[in-house]
Each structure stands twice: as C-alpha cells, then as structure tokens.
Amino acid sequence: MKFKQNIRGNLALGVNPVGCRQEVLNQIDYVKSKGHYEAPKKVLIIGASSSYGLATRISLAFGAGADTIGVSFEKGPKSERNLGTAGWYNNIAFREAAEKEGLVAKNFVTDAFSHDAKQEVIDYIKNEFGGKVDLVVYSLASGRRTDPDTGETYTSSIKAIGDQVVGPNINMQKEEFFTDTLEPATEQEIADTVKVMGGEDWELWMKALKDADVLSEGVLTTNYSYLGTELNRPYYGGGTLGQAKADCDVKADNINKLLADINGKAQIVVATAVTTKASSVIPFFIVYCIGLYKVMSEKGTHETPIMHQDRIYRDMIYGDNPEYDDEGRLRPDSWELDKDTQAETKELIMKLNEDNFNTDMTAYDLFYKEFSNLSGFMVDNYVDEDITINELKSWEY
Ligand code: NAI
C-alpha cells in the first residue's frame, strides 16, 4: 500500500504508519543520546499520543526509565482510504519500543473528558500499576468537550477578543500567503473555549485521582501553557485561547490546595511555540513560526517538541536549572522570548510577502517538514515497507 500525504488547508489528513513509527524511534534516539536522568518512575500522561504529550512520555520513559500510562483519543485503520490517525500509530510504536526495554506502557484510547475514562485509569493504577502515580502530565488539546455531568458538548473557537485581527496567514496545501481576518469572539464563544481548553477537566482528573488515593506523597502535575509575545498576542494570548490558558492558572491554584495534604504540586509550564497539529490551525501562527524558527535556528535555540520536553524534565523540573516567573510558572519559553530573538523575528516577519515567504529567508521548509513528520512523512531514516491494510489492522495499541 502507498501512503499519501494529504493536506487540506493546514490540516493533515493522510498518515504514514511506518513513518510514524520511525519518527517515534528518532525521538527515542534523541533522548537516549542525552543519557539517563532521575525522575519519577510511575507517570500518567493525559494527551499522550502526539507532540508535547508524546515527547514528554518518550523523555520520561527512555531518559528516566518511567513506566507510563498514556490516555489519548485516536482512530485506528478502517480501510485503505481511511487509515486512522497518526497518534494511533504513535501509541503502538511507543508501546513496542518501551516494552522491549522492560517498561510498562499502557495505552487508553478513550475520551479523557468522560468519568468512565478516569475510572478505567484509576482501576488500572490500583490493580496493575503498583497503586500510585508520582507525576500526572496534562497535555490535551481538543476542539470539543462533552461535559460528563450534563452531557452538553462545547466547541472551542480560536478567535480574537474585542477587535477584529487582520494579518498575513499561510495555506500549506496551496503554498499560499494571504491576508486573513479573525473575527472577535462572542461572550458565549469565549466561555465555551474556556470550558474545552481551560483547566476544568485537569482539576476533575486530579480530584478523581486524589479521591481514589492513587497519588503518591509529593505528586507533581504539569500542564502546558503558552503566553507568547506582542507578535501573537492579538490572536493567541489576548484571544480565546489565552482566556483558556488563564483559567488553567486558576485551576492550578485549586489543585495546589487539593494536594496540600500530600505535599503535591500543580505546575504550569509555559512552553515554547512548536509545530503541532493543534498549533498549525491557529490563524497567523505559521507566519510567526517561520520567522521565529529561522531566527532561533541561526542562534542554535530552535527546538522540536522532543528537544523542548526533554529539556523541561531533564534540566529544569528534575534538574538544576529551573526558571520560574513571579507567578510560579516554569518558563522554558525564555529562549523564544529572548529580546533579540523577538526583535529579529519581528523585523523578518514584517518583510514577508507572497514572493518570499517560502524562500531561504524564512524557515518555511523546516515548518513544513516538522508538520509532515507529525503524520509520518518526510521522516529522517525512513525506510519504505510494503504493508497491507490487514497487517495494519492487526497492530495492537
Ligand atoms: P496535539 O494536538 O498534538 O495533542 C493533543 C493530545 O490530546 C493528543 O494525544 C490527543 O489524542 C489528545 N486528545 C484530544 N482530545 C482528547 C480526548 N477527548 N480524550 C483523550 N485525549 C484527547 O496538541 P499539542 O500541541 O501537543 O498541545 C498539548 C498542550 O500543549 C495544549 O494544552 C497546548 O495548548 C499546549 N501548548 C502547545 C504549544 C504549541 O505551540 N503547540 C505551545 C505551548 C503549549
């Protein structure tokens, strides 16, 4: 079977399962090349199948020897035309590689927002995972959430707040640079985005885990945020997504109170801008990234999710170099926010137009490659394999 890359707008529809496996192996190699570090050995990752969550899982398993439980919402293969999602194959590749090293790697493919998912994971921790977890990573990104108590489904919007935003955007399918407009959100849309991407479900998870007594003394829970800069504030930090991230700060305080008696801690990690399925659909964001990555590549500070997450856990959280802000948030995004980096990115972005956005002036090619890698295309060390749909269907997560 031939695997075909299929992009609609900035959405990746095609998947190469063999390439996904190779990409997971490449990330494992990166972590192994850095050697071992000391970190918790029993970890739950909610949103574990791609980008930041997957990178976290790979770093902790292959860098620190952690047993991991991964929760994700992915689809398996149905037919040659419908091969499912990349995260499905990432889960399989991760489990196979981890088990080869004698590590536990349990995958739950389920709706993390539901009560059932929480109960299933709790039962597994109690019955088969040694009874407790030391670290809970919350790395969900979703466009929809069904409230588990009311059954009502909410949809998040990526919109500005207050004024309309007009600016340059990129369509990767058509390799086109165009002027886009982002409308301001209604109050309802803001509230719904907070309901989906805010911290409510994170807090529900931590409450359920605490009530079930499956959290170790001194447990840590992390949640990835983004603050950005004046270059993307109108549509990100100052928009609906920014409101959702601010809600996570509030919920972190609640969780800190909840965990006080077991000396637990909720840690907001303000992560750097990276190429992920979630970030590729944020209007204007690709333009920022292709400028930023160009500048950061030249300075030697550009990171992919695996580089960033490995640095966060190895050097910062469980290492000697954490950087916190006045609000107590961890700030690995300091490389992105560096004054010179931002000034040079701004200067570069201002010069972009339809004739030069995809030339050597920018990191368009790098962004496109990283975007393709997410679906198993353009992967380093890739070797073609002839695989049938029935073989793919027999792969177990
Ligand atoms: P992603 O789209 O690559 O991964 C999202 C994960 O959530 C996947 O494992 C997916 O299966 C899982 N998921 C989605 N809905 C689910 C559900 N209902 N039940 C179970 N699992 C579900 O997202 P990405 O970009 O890695 O984002 C993770 C977090 O990092 C988000 O909070 C995001 O805001 C944050 N972040 C992202 C940055 C970026 O530049 N991409 C920058 C800073 C923070």
Known catalytic residue at 224:
no
Question: Cα 125 to the chain's mean position, in Å?
Answer: 23
- pLDDT bucket at 23, cuts 50 / 70 / 90: very high
Q: Does the pLDDT value for residue 278 go beyond 90?
A: no
Query: Tell me, what's the pLDDT at 162?
Result: 94
Question: Cα 372 to the chain's mean position, in Å?
Answer: 16
Distance CA 318, CA 38 (A): 7
pLDDT tens-digit profile of 305-346?
A: 999 999 999 999 999 999 999 999 999 999 999 999 999 999
Does residue 343 fall inside a structural domain?
yes
pLDDT tens-digit profile of 94-117?
A: 999 999 999 999 999 999 999 999
Q: Does the pLDDT value for residue 192 go beyond 90?
A: yes
| Residue 40: CATH number of its domain | 3.40.50.720
Q: Does the pLDDT value for residue 299 go beyond 90?
A: yes
Distance CA 196, CA 201 (A): 8
Query: Tell me, what's the pLDDT at 293?
Result: 98
Does residue 2 fall inside a structural domain?
no
Q: How far away, in angstroms, is 86 Cα from ligand 1 center?
A: 13
Contacts with 100 (C-beta within 8 Å, 6 or more apart), sequence order: none
Query: Tell me, what's the pLDDT at 306?
Result: 98
Q: What is the DSSP letter of 82?
A: B
Q: How many CB atoms lie within 10 A of CB 28?
A: 21
139-173 in b/e burial notation, b at 16+ Cβ within 10 A?
bbbbeebebeeeeeebebbbbbbeeebebbbbebe
Set 30, 89, 224, 236: catalytic member:
236
On whether the CB atoms of residues 330 and 269 are closer than 8 A, the answer is yes
Does residue 12 fall inside a structural domain?
yes
Q: How far away, in angstroms, is 172 Cα from ligand 1 center?
A: 21
Average pLDDT, rounded, for the chain: 97
1 class by beta-carbon count within 10 Å (0-12 exposed, 13-18 middle, 19+ buried): middle
Does residue 119 fall inside a structural domain?
yes
Q: What is the DSSP letter of 114?
A: S
Does residue 1 fall inside a structural domain?
no
pLDDT tens-digit profile of 145-162?
A: 999 999 999 999 999 999
Query: Tell me, what's the pLDDT at 10?
Result: 95
Query: Tell me, what's the pLDDT at 395?
Result: 95
Query: Tell me, what's the pLDDT at 241?
Result: 95
> Average pLDDT, stretch 48-75?
98
> Average pLDDT, stretch 200-205?
98
3-state secondary structure of 337: helix
Q: Would you list the DSSP string of 224-260?
A: EE----TTTTTTTTTSHHHHHHHHHHHHHHHHHHHHG
To 10 degrees, what angle do helices 240-259 and 200-211 make?
20
Domain extent, residue 371, equals 7-394
What percentage of the chain exceeds 90 in pLDDT? 98
> Average pLDDT, stretch 206-216?
98
Does residue 289 fall inside a structural domain?
yes
Does residue 280 fall inside a structural domain?
yes
**What total number of domains does the chain contain?**
1
Instruction: Let me know how long the chain is.
Output: 397
Q: Which of 45, 46, 51 maximizes ligand 1 atoms within 8 Å of its Cβ, making it the mutation to test the pocket? A: 51
Q: Which residues form the pocket of ligand 1, taking CB atoms under 6 Å from any ligand atom?
A: 47-53, 71-74, 87, 111-113, 139-142, 224-226, 271, 273-274, 276-279
| φ/ψ bin of 381: left (φ > 0), alpha (ψ from -120 to 50), beta (otherwise) | left
What percentage of the chain exceeds 70 in pLDDT? 100
Does residue 195 fall inside a structural domain?
yes
Distance CA 368, CA 387 (A): 26
pLDDT tens-digit profile of 69-94?
A: 999 999 999 999 999 999 999 999 99
Radius of gyration of the chain (CA): 20
- pLDDT bucket at 123, cuts 50 / 70 / 90: very high
Q: Does the pLDDT value for residue 59 go beyond 90?
A: yes
> Average pLDDT, stretch 184-209?
98
Distance CA 32, CA 207 (A): 34
